[in-house]
């Protein structure tokens, strides 16, 4: 009996360790976009919640959504538009925390004659290889633009070299690099101004993990929320923590850019009326995204907020 009991106890122990450990993959390299999670780890919020959290970053060749599908992590960050599309395609995920309430997505023209979306008709526009493909196609069809999309991985070299007429960019990232490259008089076409102000990042667990360890998933969400709340209250100290993570990963990211990014990220997390973060998914925004995706035959059925959040209201 003792010989049988020991292996059983070991399996129970390992199962408990697995339940506590959460491998979390933000959707890009270390940067201020994910400050709240670094803060939660550094300040011990995850540990206080009884969690062993490992943050493993993605790369251009191993994106967060693929890592989740392949079982390399338990949770990732993902924008709501992609979440709805992926859930319809069979990727079972659950949103446990919504951080960004607004989009920072802009189009940056090289020519000052391009001021509105309709001015992009027939133009060459840079776009990420792994992000915002469906949304960009819908914008293209919505305005009958006939854009020629030119894919890039992460840099703004296509824009700087003049290989494109404009480029998709995040206001807190690529737009900053364009400024820093000497394009100080550029203007932005904000997609939010054209009705595409959809929520960006939230935290998504696999449905399997969420249903097997609901308390752990919720504890992770609460600790992450504490991390972001602390970041809102102590942005300078949070930036110090971000820079430590960046330096640990030997990345060439300057503090000034990371400060710009953090300020923009915190702004995008705030409700327009209260000017405070709510950390909740807006049901009206979810339905707007569904209407677009259904109108352009990108999804088969409506993906409700309840389905996205696992029933959380």
Show pLDDT as tens, one digit a residue, over the chain (313 residues).
Answer: 555 555 554 444 444 544 469 999 999 899 999 999 999 999 999 999 999 999 999 876 678 999 999 999 999 999 999 999 999 999 999 999 999 999 999 999 998 899 999 999 999 999 988 778 889 999 999 999 999 999 987 678 899 999 999 999 999 999 999 988 888 788 899 999 999 999 999 999 999 999 999 999 999 999 999 999 999 999 999 999 999 999 999 888 789 999 999 999 999 999 989 999 999 999 999 999 999 999 999 999 999 999 999 987 6
Model pLDDT, residue 155: 75
Model pLDDT, residue 313: 62
Neighbouring C-alpha atoms within 13 Å toward the C-beta of 72: 16
Distances (CA, A) of 257 to 219, 260, 261, 288, 292: 32, 5, 6, 33, 34
With beta carbons less than 8 A apart as the criterion, state whether 30 and 57 touch: yes
Model pLDDT, residue 310: 92
Strands in the chain per DSSP E: 21-25, 52-55, 75-79, 93-98, 105-109, 124-128, 148-152, 166-170, 189-190, 201-206
* Helix/strand/coil percentages in the chain, nearest 5: 50, 15, 35
Give the C-alpha separation, 39 to 36, whole Å: 5
């Amino acid at each position: 009996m003792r010989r049988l009991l020991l292996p059983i106890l070991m399996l129970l122990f390992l199962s408990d360790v697995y339940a506590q450990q959460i491998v979390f993959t933000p959707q890009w390299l270390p940067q201020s976009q994910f400050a709240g999670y670094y803060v939660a780890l550094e300040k011990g919020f995850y540990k206080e919640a009884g969690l062993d959290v490992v943050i493993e970053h993605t790369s251009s060749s191993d994106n967060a959504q693929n890592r989740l599908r392949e079982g390399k992590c338990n949770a990732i960050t993902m924008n709501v538009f992609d979440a709805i599309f992926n859930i319809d395609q069979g990727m079972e995920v659950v949103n446990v925390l919504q951080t960004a309430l607004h989009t920072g997505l802009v189009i940056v023209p090289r020519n000052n004659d391009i001021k509105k979306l309709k001015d992009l008709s027939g133009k060459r526009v840079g776009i990420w290889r792994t992000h915002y493909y469906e949304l960009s196609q819908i914008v293209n069809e919505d305005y009958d633009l006939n854009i020629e999309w030119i894919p890039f991985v992460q840099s703004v070299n296509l824009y700087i070299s003049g290989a494109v007429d404009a480029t998709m960019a995040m206001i807190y990232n690529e737009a900053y690099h364009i400024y820093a490259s000497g394009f100080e008089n550029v203007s932005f076409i904000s997609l939010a101004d054209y009705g595409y102000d959809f929520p960006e990042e939230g935290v998504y667990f696999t449905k399997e993990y969420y249903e097997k360890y609901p308390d752990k998933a919720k504890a992770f969400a609460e600790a992450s929320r504490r991390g972001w709340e602390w970041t809102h209250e102590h942005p300078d100290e949070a930036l110090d923590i971000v820079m430590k993570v960046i330096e640990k990963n030997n990345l060439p990211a300057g503090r000034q850019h990371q400060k710009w990014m953090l300020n923009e990220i915190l702004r995008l997390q705030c409700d327009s009326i209260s000017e405070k973060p709510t950390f909740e998914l807006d049901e009206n925004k979810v339905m707007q995204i569904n209407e677009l995706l259904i109108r352009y035959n990108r999804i088969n059925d409506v993906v409700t907020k309840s389905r996205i959040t696992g029933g959380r209201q």
